[in-house]
């Protein structure tokens, strides 16, 4: 997984034309994200070391309840976007969305930022009150 993450990052660096993300020069036009019941997004799960990553664009993560390692974009890579769009559906997302909306620091999705616009698209079941 670590080698795969490094290869993925190398490909992104080629497309970007550099190894350092520059403010005002986004890596992505649009990043589309979901929201897990536990507040995770991408593969940024609660209590994982990847949440502290500030240099790598791609890293690994092993969620608490998963038997395998995942690759994920990191906060800096997601931040380097013109638009970040969350898409949620269903009542099962309501509680996690409420915690993220309140800015709960324990929820990884609460820490998503972008150089551009952050948009939430959801059905009424997920939105709640």
Domains of the chain in sequence order: 1-127 (3.40.50.1360)
Residue 118 CB contacts under 8 Å (≥ 6 apart), including other chains:
83, 84, 85, 86, 112
pLDDT, tens digit (0-9, with 9 covering 90-100), for 63-78: 877 788 999 999 999 9
pLDDT, tens digit (0-9, with 9 covering 90-100), for 44-61: 999 999 999 999 999 999
Q: What is the pTM of this model?
A: 0.94
Residue 83 CB contacts under 8 Å (≥ 6 apart), including other chains:
29, 30, 31, 114, 116, 117, 118, 119
């Amino acid at each position: 997984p670590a080698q795969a993450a490094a290869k993925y990052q190398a490909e992104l660096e080629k497309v970007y034309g550099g190894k350092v993300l520059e403010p005002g020069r986004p890596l992505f036009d649009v990043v589309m994200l979901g929201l897990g019941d536990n507040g995770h997004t991408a593969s940024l799960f609660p209590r994982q070391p990847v949440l502290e990553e500030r240099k790598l664009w791609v890293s690994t993560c092993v969620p608490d309840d998963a038997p395998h390692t995942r690759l994920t974009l990191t906060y800096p890579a997601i931040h380097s976007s013109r638009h970040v769009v969350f898409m949620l559906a269903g009542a099962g997302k309501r509680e996690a969305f409420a915690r993220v909306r309140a800015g709960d620091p324990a929820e990884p999705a609460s820490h998503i930022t972008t150089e551009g616009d952050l948009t939430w698209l959801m059905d009424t079941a997920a939105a709640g009150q």
